[in-house]
Structure 1
């Protein structure tokens, strides 16, 4: 199998659509965007068809997720002041780095995924391309595994553990495979509307139930009132470890770093220039949902907060009634990550063949096989990893440090090299991106250490056996 790297792909695309192959990168990006869209629209299966509105739904479907309900726990570890500061700073950096990413892609509109982005950001390095491809698959497949496990947890909770947990995981996996069959993100964005709505209902019900019940039932330090009356606090409680605080910070940054998917989303927009409109919708929704519900949850749960916060509710009917809606975003978000991962593998297998963009038996057969393989590997990870939560902290440190910070600091340098301090505004943005790089390196260093320490602690205690039938109800 011959791998076509982005510069080679671009050259072939330009030759196919009549663009001057000798034209330098970025010299006529608008013309190249038009040419790429026209070339795509000659295919039987057209990818570059999303409007900015559909892209906004796709973004919201990906971001309005169960991880929001873990932010209450982060606040309970960090306290109001460090917790809210971390949330606000993470949100600001998310917006700035996302805009930098979009500007870089507009300079190189042939970018189709985060691997192409890494290739250009690091000076057309094929090593960077392959390494980014490995990180993309490792990150996404482990995340899909987390969603398989979450699906099993929802089914366990709703059915009072009526089946072996492995059975529920198989059910979630099979549902994910079926839902992942659409090959365009335009169709997946339709699912995202229902996903975001279902998660919004789950959050609203949780807030209502946590407000009307007398007290939470369960906390990590014991059932209420073992740990005293419910209380909130400005700073971490005495005895809180550095590792605990670092994992709470990673939990917040993990929620705010979805950019690993953005290049693929942009590449399937009919007008990628409009992506900032979609991003603005996401930023507004995220700023509200990532801060307000967790803050209200912390107000009512205090030190009894769990991750997800549904687990702290004392009335079983409340817990089931709110948690039930999570099954929709759990599957749909798994589908989004599976789609991006499958395309990376699929186009490397199919190359330039007509099957890559046509409704052929071979094309659909390979797509189905790749998708089934991704979900099968994710299922295995969901069963053999003892604590997916701590492994997600590991992902946040190892991968989000690159995909949320380091990549975009490097891309900024590539965009403005030689004029980094030209004017006050540019100088300020340069300093901000130096800070972005520092944050990425901090997550990659101390953050990774904290995540590994948490995993070591998992293995030193009782761990969930592989392919266990144990009840995972919240």
Structure 2
């Protein structure tokens, strides 16, 4: 039988103008509601809340308030976006870049709304793999699950490279970079070990404060130490390849949607998730614009990626030292996500999820160790790993952040609003959903092309911390 939360969730949809509305139609009965997922024989996707009633459980997951969800997401995405975005202004000019950053921030908020509505309509969804099962069956689940794990591990590796770069900068390259990365990976593993995101959320406050403080310090440093002979270009003429390569930075600066379902599953009130998404996108967009514009105005076209390397040595060390904690916590959050998806896949609906069993804890520790370990090995052993991160982002983040949201809206409109006739009645919403899918496909195709071309022309240049 459906849970009360599920029945409430079924009435939440996207109106023509993108706002939330409650359907005037009565909620369909379980018999009339017949999406593909309901009649599959696998027990891993029952139509009940992921974690169910936790009153008598030893481990309680649903303790994450929406304010902490917003802080965790800020801690996760802002560092990579902040470090990479100023260089985009140098390639395409200040006006096109700012317009693009603002547009993508607004569009990411729109797609977040579609993801949140889908989760409320399907409380059994824990991750993108579960959503893929509802949309496309077993193949969809495997593809989207694998994509989430790959992207999370690549993102962990990106944070490890950022941490390695920060430690190398602080030590004036006085220590072996491999050992610095391994040390940073060890601490990332330890922070990823708490079983619930509620425990990690306390670190989100600290992490968000660190990255904001680092950004403010960097802007002060740039303002007090402007580059000589700098210039500010309103618009820069360039070819498609270099232009799209530059705009992949703002495109993937909002690549945190792949974690939305996992975060919402650990909220006692998932209905509040839109508040967290609004805070996240509003803050990140404003901060991205302010940071990118200030850094570009005072440094000019020579601004590097990561932008902190463009500062005078003392300021660069100071800002990296402050941001180091954010890199650490963001990496632990990504690796936690990869481990949590696999853990729930194998132990869902078992006592190992909510009880302190030996098997549960051994498997959880091993999964966290594997997630961080694989990321560390890739970062050390693959000379072009930083480019592989860009390829993974192009292939997966383009769909998780943008394209899949259109499929979610089309699926629920068809099954909950009256079949094909619903598309005719909601032409504006249908058009937006289709455009969202097309945009995701375009970003995936073009982003993969430029990322592969860059990696093939890199001639095995040294690692960078750029995501």
**Shorter-chain TM-score category?**
0.7 to 0.9
Gaps of 5+ in 2: 7-28, 36-45, 415-419
Residues 151 and 427 (structure 1 numbering): CA distance in 2 closer, same or farther, change over 3 Å?
same
- The answer as to whether partners of 1:73 and 1:307 remain within 8 angstroms in 2 is yes
Partner of 2:86: 72
Which region of structure 1 is more displaced relative to structure 2, 112-121 or 346-355? Answer: 346-355
Partner of 2:288: 290
Cα shift readout 1:204-261 (whole Å, capped 9, x = no counterpart): 000000001142xxxxxxxxx6xxx211112225xx4432211211111111121000
Verify: 1:208 aligned to 2:220, yes or no: yes
Verify: 1:198 aligned to 2:201, yes or no: no
Partner of 2:365: 368
**Aligned with 1:58 (options 67, 72, 75):** 72
Distance 1:430 1:93 in 2: 16
**Aligned with 1:43 (options 57, 67, 75):** 57
- The answer as to whether partners of 1:65 and 1:329 remain within 8 angstroms in 2 is yes
Partner of 2:123: 109
Measured after TM superposition, the shift of residue 439 of structure 1 is 1.1
Q: Which aligned pairs between 1:6-405 and structure 2 lie closer than 5 A? A: 39-122=53-136, 125-215=137-227, 229-237=229-237, 240-313=238-311, 315-405=312-402
- The answer as to whether partners of 1:243 and 1:453 remain within 8 angstroms in 2 is no
Partner of 1:3: none
TM-score (norm: length of structure 2): 0.85
Residues 386 and 56 (structure 1 numbering): CA distance in 2 closer, same or farther, change over 3 Å?
same
Partner of 1:17: none
Distance 1:66 1:451 in 2: 17
Distance 1:275 1:344 in 2: 20
Distance 2:220 2:182 in 1: 33
Measured after TM superposition, the shift of residue 472 of structure 1 is 8.8
Distance 1:39 1:378 in 2: 35
- The answer as to whether partners of 1:253 and 1:396 remain within 8 angstroms in 2 is no
Which region of structure 1 is more displaced relative to structure 2, 167-176 or 408-417? Answer: 408-417
Distance 2:440 2:377 in 1: 30
Measured after TM superposition, the shift of residue 441 of structure 1 is 1.2
- The answer as to whether partners of 2:93 and 2:233 remain within 8 angstroms in 1 is yes
Cα shift readout 1:303-359 (whole Å, capped 9, x = no counterpart): 11111111111x211111112111111111111111111111112333444222211
Partner of 1:456: 456
Which region of structure 1 is more displaced relative to structure 2, 48-57 or 130-139? Answer: 48-57
SS in 1 for 2:344: helix
Distance 1:296 1:280 in 2: 24
Distance 1:156 1:281 in 2: 34
Residues 35 and 400 (structure 1 numbering): CA distance in 2 closer, same or farther, change over 3 Å?
closer
- The answer as to whether partners of 1:151 and 1:169 remain within 8 angstroms in 2 is yes
- The answer as to whether partners of 1:412 and 1:433 remain within 8 angstroms in 2 is yes
Measured after TM superposition, the shift of residue 462 of structure 1 is 4.7
Residues 285 and 372 (structure 1 numbering): CA distance in 2 closer, same or farther, change over 3 Å?
same
Partner of 2:406: 409
- The answer as to whether partners of 2:244 and 2:447 remain within 8 angstroms in 1 is yes
Residues 192 and 472 (structure 1 numbering): CA distance in 2 closer, same or farther, change over 3 Å?
closer
Cα shift readout 1:261-286 (whole Å, capped 9, x = no counterpart): 00000011001111111112112211
Measured after TM superposition, the shift of residue 26 of structure 1 is 9.4
Partner of 2:40: none
Measured after TM superposition, the shift of residue 401 of structure 1 is 2.0
Measured after TM superposition, the shift of residue 35 of structure 1 is 6.3
Measured after TM superposition, the shift of residue 463 of structure 1 is 3.0
Distance 2:113 2:346 in 1: 32
Cα shift readout 1:148-187 (whole Å, capped 9, x = no counterpart): 1111111100011221001001101100111111110111
Measured after TM superposition, the shift of residue 393 of structure 1 is 2.3
